[in-house]
Amino acid sequence: MAIISVYKSFASGGRELGRILAKNLGYQYVDKSLFQEIAEALHVSEGTLESFEQSRQYRISNVFSNLFSKSYIQRIVGYDKSVVEEQEYQNSLKKLVLSVAEEDNSVIIGRASHYFLKDRKNCFRFRLVAPLEFRLKYAVEKLGISPAQAQSVIARRDRNQQWFHRSVCGDNYDSPLLFHLTVNTGLISIEKTAEIILSVVGSIKN
C-alpha cells in the first residue's frame, strides 16, 4: 500500500506515466478529478479555478476580495464566485491531497502533492524533466498542440507552474531532496521510466 506522487514539467509525459503506473499497480489515478473536487469544495467553476492556477492576475483579484466580505461577493456574482482566495485554495488543495493519501493505493499527478506529502512515509515522490526538444515533439504528437504554438504554450505553462508552486509551497517546492528519483524522459522512455519507478517502489517497500 503506497502513494506515488509525480511532479512533472509540462509535456514531459507525466500523465502518460501515471496511467501506466496505476494500471500496473491496480491503483487509482488522480489528476483532473482532484481538480474538480476542489472546484466543488470552493463552489467555483472549473474555469475560474483553472484561471487562478494559470494566471498571476488573480493576485490583483485577491486585493479586491479582501475589501469585501465573502457574502457580499457571493451576492454579486452568485454561486459561482469570480474570485478564489489563495489561502482558501491552498487549504482546500492540501486537504484533498491528504484525503486521497489516506485511502492509499493512488498515483497522484501534480497538484503540489509531492510537497504536501513530503513527510508521509508511504509516499514515493518522483520528478520528470525533459529537454525542450523532447517536450516540443511530445506536445505536438501526444497533446495535439500545433507546431506553431508549441513553444509559446510550453513557455507559458512553465511560468504558470513556477508561480503556482511558489505561491502554494514556497521557494523550495522543487528541491531535489524532496524526491526519491528524478528522471529525464528525453533520455529514458516513458515505459522504461515506469519500470524503474516500480522497481524503486518495490525495493523500498520491501
Span 91-101, pLDDT tens digits: 888 998 999 89
Domain assignment present for 66:
no
Which of 8-12, 39-43, 142-146, 165-169 is least confident? 39-43
Q: Which residues of 82-114 are buried (b: 16+ CB within 10 A; e: fewer)?
A: ebbbeebbeebbbebbeebbeeeebbbbbbbbb
Alpha-helix residue ranges (DSSP H) falling in 78-187: 86-103, 113-116, 132-141, 147-169
Q: Residue 88 domain-assigned?
A: no
| Position 27 pLDDT exceeds 70 | yes
Does residue 75 belong to any structural domain of this protein?
no
The burial class, CB within 10 Å (0-12 / 13-18 / 19+), for 181 is middle
pLDDT confidence band for 156 (50 / 70 / 90): very high
122 in any annotated domain: yes
Provide the whole-model pTM. 0.83
pLDDT at 10 over 50: yes
Task: Decide if 63 is inside a domain.
Answer: no
Rg (CA), the chain: 18
| C-alpha torsion sign, points 21, 37, 99, 8 | positive
Residue with more model confidence, 143 or 66: 143
The 8-class DSSP code of residue 66 comes to: T
Higher per-residue confidence, 50 vs 198: 198
Distance from C-alpha of 28 to C-alpha of 41, rounded to nearest angstrom? 21
Residue 65 in domain: no
Residue 32 pLDDT: 80
The confidence score (pLDDT) of residue 51 equals 75
CATH code where residue 165 lies: 3.40.50.300
- For residue 106, the cross-strand partners are 3, 28
Answer yes or no: is 85 within a domain. Answer: no
Question: Does residue 74 lie within any of the structural domains?
Answer: no
Containing domain of residue 154, as a range? 3-40+98-205
The whole-number pLDDT of residue 88 equals: 79
- For residue 34, pLDDT over 70 is answered with yes
Number of domains in the chain: 1
Percent of the chain, pLDDT > 70?
Answer: 84
Taking all residues of the chain, what is their mean pLDDT, rounded to a whole number? 85
**Residue 184 above 80 pLDDT?**
yes
